[in-house]
Chains A and B, each alone.
Chain A
Amino acid sequence: MADPEEEAIAKVDRGGTAKPTGRRWVTIVVWGGLLGMLGLLGFGLVRAQQGPVGVGAEAPEFTLNTFDGGQVNTADLIGKVLVVNFWASWCKPCEQEAPELEMAHRMYKSEGVVFVGLDYLDTEAEALAYLDRFDITYPNGPDLGSLVSQAYRMRGIPETFIVGPDGRIAAVQIGPYSSLDEIAAHIEQAKAQ
């Protein structure tokens, strides 16, 4: 990334002594730098305008090392409905939906629906206590480096993404689920995909 101001000074310089070839190069560099900067801002803007990964989009793949030492690889789960829930132990609204999510997990376990919890910006001791408190049995693990939450462009917490058997996002829940029915509706929607 070039400094526009610098080249601006350069511009003033060459303007004074008028060397045609040098001037042309400086012009190219100035405009190139400006456009590059605008492009960068444009990228920031596009990113800011985009919400989380939307319905219909390909769900970003990830591998999760769970707290109990296991591993979940989403690439292996194609063909199944996948529920990806982002949560944290310090997140009050997450506590509202935790029992319902666990209930839904138990309800749909036999149908092959897979639940995965990603623990966002959290500390392990508190996270384990949280899982214990709500008796959560589906696999959970830390979102190492916040890479998965960035890939899903998560904005707030909790957020839940339901992925259909085709690997595409079928439903997105921003904020906590308020009832088991809501979760069930989203899962049915994903099954139909």
Chain B
Amino acid sequence: MIEGIGYAALVLSFVLALYGAGAAAYGARRGRPQLIESARRAMLLSWPMISVAALAIIALLVGGRYDIAYVAKVTSNAMPPYLKVTALWGGQGGSLVFWSWLLAAFASAVGLRKWDRDRDLLPWVIVVSMVTLAFFLSLVVFVENPFSRIWLTPEGGQITAFFRPEGARAVAPPDGQGLNPLLRHPGMIIHPPLLYLGFVAFVIPYAFAMAALVVGRSDDRWIRVTRRWTLVAWLFLALGLILGGRWAYDVLGWGGYWGWDPVEIAAFMPWLAGTAFLHSVMVQEKKGMLKHWNMLLIILTYSLVLFGTFLTRSGVLSSVHAFAQSAIGPMFFAFIGISFIGSLWLLLKRWDDLRGVNQIDSMVSREALFLLNNFLFIMILAVLFLGVIFPLASELFTGQTVTVGPEWYERITGPLFAGLLLLMGVAPLSAYGSSSWRALRKQLWLPVAISLVVPATLLITGMRSAAALLGYWLAALVAVVTLYEFWRGASARRRRHGERFPVALVRLAGRNRRRYGGYVIHLGVVLMAFGIIGIEIFQTETQGTLGRGDQLTLGRYVMVYEGLTRFNTPDGRDISRAEVSVFKDGRSVGKLFPRQDFYLAQNQPMTIPGVRSTLEEDFYVLLVGWEPIGQDGATFKVYHNPLVNFVWLGGTVFILGTLVAAWPEREPEPLRRRAHAQALPAGD
């Protein structure tokens, strides 16, 4: 019953999406506003429709309907109800429905905006978003149907199908397999939805860009309309990436947060393209330049979103994060190919219409530096793409696959990231138009001098790593320049309006949210760089097998093995939990309980670290082995992760900055009222 309703809702929304796309295109071509309006309503209706399907899945999951293949695969009796709900995105079919649901939500929100100025764009925005939606729905309607049931054929085989096959009878296993243990961490529960939100929200600026191409508008209206969408997409993607890192640090048990895994990179690539896009659209808005380039970037971003989803779901690459191989691969492949080549073709057709006033007056003007910034982002993107795709090429041509590991990525992208930091320090001081080297030098020497204090101090205190010194100098430069920008703006305000400094600071940021939000983001990046350099270059580790009461020393830390307990939990885990006392500089700083959870049903161990966390460093203990009988000896792997918490701190600042930049500005007030408002502060 429930599965029937759910599947019917899916099919209906698929039909709705197809109808919406068709009606909008036809209505626009033939000039029939009623048809376009009807298409818009179809778009608005798709969201409640998919909501029904998603709710149906949740009802089945919570109801323990193990006769449904998806339910049997991702839930089990032992799982708590909240995990059963979140199992909606724990497997292929359900997560595709969830993806579609988010896309429909975003599309509906777009459909509800005021369209007066952009009536001509509306039908094509509908076409692009509804075609994308129809594609994702077709995957669940035809291939990965989450409502399929398990059937026993007369020959004794088991198959899954929605409709009863000839002579088969339904079977319901008493219990399901349960969600992948890796996905049971709170960080992992919200990580995929955030990534999906980021992915899906990028469809909207892409849809507007394509609409502008189709109707032949060469102005920057599509950029202005979608500015906030882009920022929101970017925000969620960044949140998803940061939380993903946190999850890896807490659960994967290898002492790090980013392993350059192909699937991690697949989520990182659209973020990089999106970041380049966010910077370069500013040049188009200010100077009318780079129109082709911005189109190209948004096409690239959208394609990378699809590509990332494809990589995770097709089984092309094997990875800890990948879904099991699936038949949806070829459909995805075709869709990516068609949409990528189609949009490039559209862009080429409009190439001459988009010719703008591309002029650069100075090599150190803001627009020139933005170009350099884009160049570096695209280079990083190309390197990552090469790394992800190379094992495939190697297998195709030599028959042997290879591993492209973290070392390769770090060595090649490291200098490029350093270049970005340098730009981040220089660009805020340059001006649009004709900016001279001399003017820039005049602005730059003081921040450079101040920031050099940081590496000098580190050098004196004994740091010898050239990479770290350079990195910290660059981070310091960005910090000094950015803070200087805040100070300069706020003191100008203070002089002019007589505001107190904090008030001036807040109002300054409020008046130009994108600019100062952007600077806050830069500060977040500085903090993250601070932490990343710390853990990448100065992480130390040791391993040892200890008897009870023995100790293991790492730097200023000593840990003593106190004992081990083993117990079973009702949700099917066999837990081995060690107790260790930790001393720093000879003083006791507490106890840690690193453990290994063995998921009996999945036959899968999870290594959960015990971490003593302070702002300056983490002491991270892993229990990697123990004597099963005597429980007297246990092997521990211990990491000292300096400054790692700055990664999370920086991430938080980063997100706050994005919120500032994306926060809706008040509608422009009528002139009379604004004049009045400005008169007020002088009065009090």
Residues of A with Cβ closer than 8 Å to B?
1, 3, 5-6, 8-9, 11-12, 15-16, 34, 37-38, 40-45, 47-49, 145, 147, 150
Contact = CB atoms under 8 A, between A and B. Distances in A.
Contacts of B382: 3, 5-6
Contacts of A38: 333, 337
Contacts of A11: 292, 296
Contacts of B314: 45, 48
Given A1-B393, A16-B358, A45 B333 contact: yes
A43 B381 contact: no
B340 interface: yes
Main secondary structure of the interface of A (DSSP, over half): helix
Contact of B351 (A5, A8, A15, A37): A15
Contact of A37 (B317, B344, B389): B389
Given A8-B296, A41-B316, A41-B392, A34 B340 contact: yes
B386 interface: yes
Contacts of B340: 34
20 contacts: A1-B386, A3-B386, A5-B378, A8-B296, A9-B293, A12-B293, A15-B351, A34-B340, A34-B341, A34-B344, A40-B389, A40-B393, A45-B316, A45-B329, A45-B333, A47-B316, A48-B315, A49-B327, A49-B329, A147-B399
Given A40-B393, A43-B396, A15 B292 contact: yes
The 10 A-B pairs with the shortest beta carbon distances in the complex, nearest first, are A48-B315, A44-B316, A44-B392, A3-B382, A5-B378, A48-B316, A45-B329, A12-B292, A43-B396, A5-B382
Contacts, number: 69
B296 A45 contact: no
A11 B302 CA distance: 19
A5 B381 contact: yes
A40 B397 CA distance: 10
Contact of A40 (B325, B337, B378, B392): B392
Contacts of B392: 40-41, 43-44
Contacts of A147: 399-400
B385 A40 contact: no
Contacts of B316: 41, 44-45, 47-48
Contacts of B344: 34
Interface size class for chain B?
A: 20 to 34
A83 B362 CA distance: 73
Contact of B399 (A5, A12, A44, A150): A150
B21 interface: no
Given A1-B389, A9-B375, 13 more contacts: A5-B381, A6-B382, A8-B296, A12-B292, A15-B351, A34-B340, A37-B389, A41-B392, A45-B330, A48-B316, A48-B329, A49-B329, A49-B330
B395 interface: yes
B53 interface: no
B119 interface: no
Main secondary structure of the interface of B (DSSP, over half): helix
A145 to B, nearest CB: 8
B421 interface: no
Nearest to A34: B341
A12 B330 contact: no
B300 interface: yes
B355 interface: yes
A66 B201 CA distance: 57
B292 to A, nearest CB: 5
Contacts of A1: 386, 389, 393
Given A15-B292, A16-B358, A42-B333, A47 B351 contact: no
Given A15-B355, A45-B316, A3 B385 contact: yes
A140 B386 CA distance: 39
A6 to B, nearest CB: 7
Contacts of B351: 15
A96 B457 CA distance: 63
A166 B551 CA distance: 64
Contacts of B327: 49
A107 to B, nearest CB: 26
Contacts of B375: 9
A9 B297 CA distance: 10
A12 B341 contact: no
A3 B375 CA distance: 13
A1 B382 CA distance: 11
A34 B344 CA distance: 11
Interface string B315-342: 1110000000101011001000100110
Contacts of B329: 45, 48-49
Given A5-B381, A41-B333, A48 B396 contact: no
Interface string B172-210: 000000000000000000000000000000000000000
Contact of B296 (A12, A34, A48, A150): A12
A161 B399 CA distance: 21
A48 B391 CA distance: 13
Interface string B282-293: 000000000011
B333 A48 contact: no
A145 B300 CA distance: 38
A51 to B, nearest CB: 9
A38 B389 CA distance: 11
A145 B315 CA distance: 23
A186 B524 CA distance: 63
B292 A44 contact: no
Contacts of A45: 314, 316, 329-330, 333
A48 B344 CA distance: 28
Nearest to B385: A3
Interface in B334-384: 337, 340-341, 344, 351, 355, 358, 375, 378, 381-382
Nearest to B392: A44
Nearest to A30: B344
B396 A40 contact: yes
Interface in B386-413: 386, 389, 392-393, 395-396, 399-401
B323 to A, nearest CB: 12
Contacts of A150: 399-401
B374 to A, nearest CB: 9
Interface string B277-317: 00000000000000011001000100000000000001111
A34 B340 CA distance: 9
B416 to A, nearest CB: 13
Nearest to B322: A48
A41 B300 CA distance: 16
A44 B316 CA distance: 5
A49 B381 CA distance: 27
Contacts of B399: 147, 150
Contacts of B389: 1, 37, 40-41
B361 to A, nearest CB: 16
Nearest to A51: B325
Nearest to A43: B396
B148 to A, nearest CB: 20
